[in-house]
Amino acid sequence: MNLSEWESLASRNSEVWLTRDFDLAPLDECARYLLHIDALPGAISVVMGDKPVGNAHSAPLVFDVTEYVALEVNTLWLRLSLATIEAGSALGPVWLEAVACD
Classify domain 7-100 at the CATH topology level. Jelly Rolls (2.60.120)
d(CA 28, CA 26): 7
The whole-angstrom separation of Cα 43 and Cα 22 is 23
Q: Which of 98, 101, 99, 89 is nearest to 38 (CA)?
A: 89
Residue-wise pLDDT for 82-99, tens only, equals 888 888 888 889 999 999
Q: For residue 7, give the DSSP letter.
A: E
Q: Is residue 12 scored above 80 in pLDDT?
A: no
Average pLDDT value for the chain:
89
Beta bridge partners of 73: 23
CA distances from 20 to 6, 7, 9, 39 (A): 5, 6, 10, 17
Q: Is the pTM of this model over 0.75?
A: yes
